[in-house]
Structure 1
Amino acid sequence: MLKLIVKWLLLASALLFVAYVYKGVEVSSFGAAMGAAFVIGLLNTVVRPILVLLTLPVTLVTVGLFLFIINAFMFWAAAQVLDGFGVRDFAAALVGSLIYSVLGVVIESALERLFSKE
């Protein structure tokens, strides 16, 4: 449970970092970043697998590159649902989701080492 809370806080911080380094993404506060991180995680858990399955032929033809578009759509959809978290347009969602995904991989890797059961 502690790992989940720490991951949520770090992903919210990652969203603030994305907004800081890329002007196409705006986050009004840390609370808004926490809400956005939660909604993005929820969308990635519930909606993304369905979209991946439905777009499997396109994903295969593009050798997996279409998954970037699906990630950008999840990022953009979260911005449409929430106040305090905004994305200028779909291109900004693509860039923002790429930065956020890289930070998410780094966070996940660090947490695996920190919370390992060795």
Structure 2
Amino acid sequence: MSKLLSKYLSIVATIYLLSMAIDTITIHSIPALLVLGLVLLVVNLFIKPLILLLTLPFSIITFGLFTFVVNAWTIMIADSFVSSVNMGGFLNSLLAAFIIAILQHILRDKSK
């Protein structure tokens, strides 16, 4: 349970901090941000494994770096479900995916 909670917190914190730093990422309310975090968590649990399976050849060719693109796609999918949050496109989603991966790695190391 704490693993899901740390993922959720890193998602919400990253998107909030990026919205403060980048003008094209807009959040209209804090509850919308929290809902986006939950939607992204559900998308990561159910849809992301299917996308990773379909894009496995690209991940092998790029030595796993294509998973950042898949993570950006999942953020864009979650963004399409929550109308009060706008990520501002693929590059912002890719940046968010990269920072979320870094935060999750840091939180994973601190929990050990």
TM-score by length of 2: 0.82
Which residue of structure 1 aligns with residue 52 of structure 2? Answer: 52
Q: So what's the TM-score if we normalise by structure 1?
A: 0.78
Q: What root-mean-square deviation, in Å, do the aligned CA atoms of Structure 1 and Structure 2 show?
A: 2.1
Matches within 5 A, 1:94-105: 94-105=94-105
Aligned to 2:19: 19
Q: Deviations over 1:63-111 (max 9, x none)?
A: 111101100000111111112111211122111222233233334444x
Q: Does 1:43 align with 2:32?
A: no
Asked if the contact 1:73–1:93 (Cα under 8 Å) also holds between the matched residues in 2, the reply is: yes
Which structure would you say has the larger Rg?
1
Amino acid at match of 1:47: I
Gaps of 5+ in 1: 114-118
Gaps of 5+ in 2: none
Superposed displacement of residue 10, structure 1: 5.6
Amino acid paired to 2:59: T
Q: Is the 8 A contact 2:10 2:100 kept in 1?
A: no
Alignment length, in residue pairs? 111
Q: 1:82 maps to what in 2? A: 82
Q: Relative to structure 1, is the Cα distance of residues 88 and 69 closer, same or farther in structure 2, using a 3 angstrom cutoff? A: same
User: Is the 1:32–1:84 Cα contact (8 Å) retained in structure 2?
Assistant: yes
